[in-house]
C-alpha cells in the first residue's frame, strides 16, 4: 500500500465540500439538494464512480466550477468520493441538506482553507484516509480574539 496526499487545487478563497457516497445518482441528488436550498448558489459537483465504467460523473450550474470539480476528483481518484465547489454561498448554507442525501455516507471537510487529501492506494484502487484542513493552531484565543470572532460573525450576518 502506498500513502500520499493530493492538494486541492482551487482559488484561495473558494469553499468546497469533500465527501463519500455510495451510488451513481449522487450527482443528481446533490444538485437537487443545493438548488432547492440555495437556488442562487453557483456550483460544480464531481463524483468518482467505483464500479462498472468507473467514470467521473459530474453536474453543476457553472462550467468553471464543474471543471474545477472534475479536475480535483481526477486527482483524488478515490472510489465514491465526491467534491462540490461553490460561489455565492458557504458550505454552512448547504451542508446539512447534503448530509441528508440518502446515499451520502460521510463528509471529510467543508472549507475554504488550503487542503490536502490523505490517500491510500492499493492494486484495487484508492481510499481517502482523511484531510489536512488548513494549518495547526498557533495558540489559544485571548479576550481580544473573542471580541474579533464575535464581531466577524455579526459582520457577515451569521449572528445578530
Give residue-wise pLDDT tens across range 69-109.
999 999 999 999 999 999 999 999 999 999 999 999 999 99
Handedness of CA 86, 41, 44, 95 (dihedral sign): positive
C-alpha cell read off for 34: 443545493
Predicted TM-score (pTM) of this structure: 0.92
Q: What is the pLDDT of residue 24?
A: 86
- The alpha carbon of 10 is separated from its chain's Cα centroid by a whole number of angstroms, namely 11
* 36 found inside a domain: yes
Report yes or no: 80 and 48 within 8 Å, Cβ to Cβ: yes
Quote the domain boundaries for residue 45. Answer: 2-155
Cα angle: 59, vertex 66, 10; to 5 degrees? 145
* 160 found inside a domain: no
CATH number for the domain spanning 112: value is: 3.40.1520.10
Enumerate residue ranges in the chain where pLDDT < 50: none
- The alpha carbon of 38 is separated from its chain's Cα centroid by a whole number of angstroms, namely 16
DSSP secondary structure string for all residues of 41-91? -EEEEEEE--STT--EEEEES-HHHHHHHHHHHHHH--TTEEEEEEESS-H
* 127 found inside a domain: yes
Q: What's the total number of domains in the chain? A: 1
Amino acid at each position: 500500500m502506498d500513502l500520499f496526499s493530493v492538494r486541492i487545487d482551487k482559488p484561495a478563497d473558494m469553499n468546497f465540500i469533500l465527501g463519500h457516497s455510495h451510488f451513481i445518482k449522487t450527482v443528481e441528488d446533490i444538485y437537487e439538494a443545493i438548488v432547492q436550498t440555495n437556488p442562487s448558489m453557483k456550483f460544480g459537483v464531481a463524483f468518482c464512480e467505483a464500479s462498472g465504467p468507473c467514470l467521473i460523473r459530474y453536474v453543476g450550474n457553472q462550467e468553471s466550477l464543474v471543471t474545477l470539480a472534475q479536475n480535483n476528483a481526477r486527482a483524488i481518484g478515490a472510489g465514491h468520493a465526491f467534491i462540490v465547489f461553490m460561489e455565492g454561498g458557504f458550505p454552512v448554507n448547504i451542508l446539512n441538506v447534503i448530509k441528508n442525501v440518502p446515499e451520502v455516507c460521510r463528509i471529510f471537510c467543508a472549507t475554504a482553507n488550503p487542503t490536502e487529501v490523505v490517500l491510500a492506494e492499493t492494486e484495487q484502487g484508492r481510499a481517502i484516509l482523511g484531510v489536512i484542513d488548513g494549518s495547526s493552531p498557533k495558540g489559544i484565543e485571548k479576550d481580544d480574539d473573542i471580541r474579533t470572532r464575535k464581531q466577524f460573525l455579526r459582520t457577515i450576518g451569521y449572528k445578530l
